[in-house]
Amino acid sequence: MSSSLSRSLPFTLALAILVYLVTYFLPADLLPAAGVAMTIGVIIAGILVPILIETKPLAATSENKTNNKAAVVTATGDTATLYVGNLPYRANEEAVRELFQQSGQVVNVRLMKDRQTGRRRGFGFVEVSAKDANKMIQKLNDFEFEGRTLKVREAKERQDNEDGEE
């Protein structure tokens, strides 16, 4: 059961009981058999709304990914990956892309997020044209961006543990 549904379910049930009791005591000619129908409607809405609210950000995320794919530049030649540290947590891929595009060709931007919370972790990787990489490092390392001093350097290859430890 989704977290927002489990949080809202007691309120939904309480509201359904309240609607039923109110409609039960109304005169029958005023709302004929509407009490049960209204109660069922409240329950259905109370279950569907939290589910729809949780699935809406997923749809928006997939739309953003589609839009970002259209914005990705196909690199002609070699590329380099730059590590960007000390990013503001509110910065998004588009803002970082715009900043780096001022200095050269940007192929891809990946900002890292925490797996459990989904919040940004304050660093990411920018794939750029190899010929522009050194210029970007010189210009943007120690650059003030949204109140934070960026740390930009060439990314190192990921080191996998040989022992299989995590």
Residues of the chain with pLDDT under 50: 58-72, 166
Is CATH 3.30.70.330 the right assignment for the domain spanning 79-154? yes
Parse the chain into domains and list their residue ranges: 3-71, 79-154
The residue type found at 50 is P
Strands of the chain, DSSP E: 79-85, 106-113, 120-129, 144-145, 148-149, 151-154
Structure tokens at 80: 């380099």
pTM: 0.52
How far is 5 from 8, CA to CA, in rounded Å? Answer: 5
Residue 76, CA distances (Å) to 10, 12, 50, 87, 159 in order: 57, 56, 46, 28, 28
**Segment 70-94, tens digit of pLDDT:** 444 555 578 999 999 999 999 999 9
